[in-house]
Amino acid sequence: MLTREVTINNQVGLHARPATFFIQKANEFKSSIWIEKDDRKVNAKSLLGVLSLGIVKGTSVNLVADGSDEKEALNTLAALIASDFTE
Kindly give, in sequence order, each residue whose CB lies less than 8 Å from that of residue 41, ignoring residues fewer than 6 positions away: 34, 35, 64
Q: How far apart are the first and last CA of the chain?
A: 26
62 Cβ neighbours under 8 A, 6+ residues apart: 3, 4, 5, 6, 35, 36, 37
Catalytic annotation present for 57 = no
Which one of the listed residues 14, 15, 53, 77 is annotated catalytic? 15
Q: What are phi and psi of 64, to 5 degrees?
A: -125, 130
Catalytically active residues are 15
